[in-house]
Amino acid sequence: MSAPASSLNSLNPAQQQAVRHVHSPLLVLAGAGSGKTLAITHKLAHLVNSLRYAPESIYAVTFTNKAAREMKERAARLMGETAGQLNVSTFHTLGLTFIRHEHKALQLKSSFTLLDEDDSLAMLRDAANLNQVDKQVLGGLRMLISNWKNALLTPEQALTAAKDAEETLAAKAYAAYQRTQRACHALDFDDLILLPAVCLREEDHIRNKWQHKVRYLLVDEYQDTNGAQYELVKLLAGDRAAFTVVGDDDQSIYAWRGANPENLNQLKADYPKLEVIKLEQNYRSFGRILKCANTLIANNPHMFEKSLWSQKQFGEPLRVMNCANDEDESERVVNEIMMRKMRGNLKWRQFAILFRGNHQARLFEKAMIERKVPYKLSGGQSFFGKAEIKDVLAYLRLLVNDEDDAAFLRIVNVPRREIGASTIEKLGAYAQRRHRTLLPACRELGLETELSGRPLTALRQFSDLIGRYGEACRKGDAIVAINELLRAVGYEGWLYEQASSPKVAQGRWQNVQELLSWLERSLKDGAKISFDEAVNKLLLRDMLERSAEDEQNADEVQMLTLHAAKGLEYPHVYMVGMEEELLPHRTSIEENSIEEERRLCYVGITRAQETLTFTLCTTRKRFGETIRCEPSRFLAELPVDDLKWDNAKNATAEEKEQVRNEKLAALKALLDD
């Protein structure tokens, strides 16, 4: 069935051109708010409905579950049930799917384990004998290893390329960490891209098989790809180069996690027939906001020139609110939000406060709590970060893979089984001598040379428990078996023992039940996946989302970092802390990486739909000291005629009266609440 002609007619000419172009590789340079998701989903429908591609041969990849979900939902509105056969996922879900199919070639058990960040750090510390290293240094080593994996470098190559003592130490730690990973059949987040890319590069028959499966490839947010992801795309696309990538070099803000906007430029070198189509019409923001954004980002060097424009009204000047200090800043912003909401009969969720770092949120939270303003602060503790969820996930991981040492160490004594540190140390020494992982070592008769009495009995009982319920999960109703396991170990009772109140314990137990509900839905979603696959799917959800889905329609002021705001939009935006050493950040000034900070500022500006207010302080408290602040250089790069500076010292009598009225209105709203 073809997509209705009116469907394509609803797109602008550039979007239509991007949808219809399939005869050569295509880069869609999509500016902020330019309707790229609309173009991608129409292209999915066009490929199937008009060009008769088999839907299962089309792969579309992006970076977040939310973006993948939105893509699927929009495609379903255009294609109906056929959209369910499309392969729409995140990069890492695609990598996990590949590894599941090719685990034998990768010399992995089908029940391999996915490590979260905490488990990865713990494994690195133990494998490289870094027990005396503090967490910050360990995190730095882990980041270096991640960068090497993203560049497809082996430990041997990393050691050869090491420039100093720190990198040499990290490369040796990388080698030890990788040996332990292989022994435990455990993968970290980076491996989900690294292993498929290396396998496709080195195994001709597997590469040919997957290039035959992937008849057309679409990649969203291409400017955020790292080296390994670029290689994966290139290997899947093959010589046919049947792909469309969508990106914007002006919105590349993740260099700290490996994103390389140069990948857009590399496409031109690797694919001489590459076509470039620009989406420059913005459907989000008023004209003056776009004018300021264009002027700012023009200060960066560009691979591709573009300029956003809009048919919306031009809009009011962008305000610059000059505050005495950070307390004055938070109070004035919150008071103004209250006043604007009341005056315009608006919703709280129409306002957003954007900042460079989470530490800036504290005073805004305080001001909103005092004034009873509902708010949501992104970046709080995630659902998967809760202790009870990590505990139950560790049980699930061990049921799937009894060689998962990180999971074993987390729950071998949760709830308490009188298995202390000295017992674990002796078990670890024995397992190391035997070249075994910890749980299998518990079952060996030879362990009796190291342990006896209650410690040995406790370890054997724990081992038997995991073995018995692991088998039950594979042969019967996994959810029933898991609930029986949690009853057998007394986990619910242990939560009540540990909690500060019965209400807290009840909430934690409800979290556990929610986790098991997700697992149950995964097992019953019609895909006929195994218990092992369902658990790994859940672990990947943990890695990708890290937080429970909140109601999108909750009426709350949104507070979030500029990084977290990418892809979102709000009618009224406050970008706070527009000062040197905040935005741009001090580290970027020292390292001369101002271009990425400018892109971050550009992303913030283009989140605003109708009004945008910048704030800066004369003084600010940092690390207990009061310091004088300098305005951000980015304010000086904006067109003077489009800014309205709100400086209390130089304000006219009329402007001072307006500020007084705003404060009175905010106070009245607070008293009326």
* Active-site entry in 251, 423, 611, 613: 251
Q: Residue 652 catalytic?
A: no
> Which is nearest to 139 in space by CA: 159, 121, 160?
121
Q: Residue 556 catalytic?
A: no
Q: Residue 672 catalytic?
A: no
* Active-site entry in 356, 598, 607, 633: 607
Helix (H/G/I), strand (E/B), else coil: 427: helix
Question: CA of 182: how far to CAs of 35, 97, 185, 598, in Å?
Answer: 43, 19, 5, 41
- Tell me the C-alpha distance between 616 and 320, whole Å: 8
- Tell me the C-alpha distance between 41 and 464, whole Å: 50
* Active-site entry in 102, 220, 329, 533: 220
Structural contact between residues 221 and 253, judged by C-beta atoms closer than 8 angstroms:
no
The pair of three-digit structure tokens given for residue 243, joined into one six-digit string: 């792909």
Strands 643-647 and 318-323: parallel
Fill in the amino acid letter for 18: A
Q: Residue 221 catalytic?
A: yes
Question: CA of 671: how far to CAs of 332, 337, 370, 658, in Å?
Answer: 17, 16, 12, 20
Burial tier of 632 (Cβ tally within 10 Å: 0-12, 13-18, 19+): buried
Q: Residue 37 catalytic?
A: yes
Q: Residue 656 catalytic?
A: no
Fill in the amino acid letter for 474: R
Instruction: Characterize 230-251 residue by residue with b for buried, 16 or more Cβ atoms within 10 angstroms of its Cβ, and e for exposed.
Output: bbbbbbbbbeebbbbbbbbbbb
- Tell me the C-alpha distance between 176 and 156, whole Å: 11
* Active-site entry in 16, 17, 37, 506: 37
Own/partner long-range contacts of 264-269 (Cβ < 8 Å, ≥24 apart): 264/27, 264/222, 264/223, 264/303, 264/304, 265/303, 266/230, 267/25, 267/27
Fill in the amino acid letter for 333: V
- Catalytic sites, residue numbers: 36-37, 220-221, 251, 607
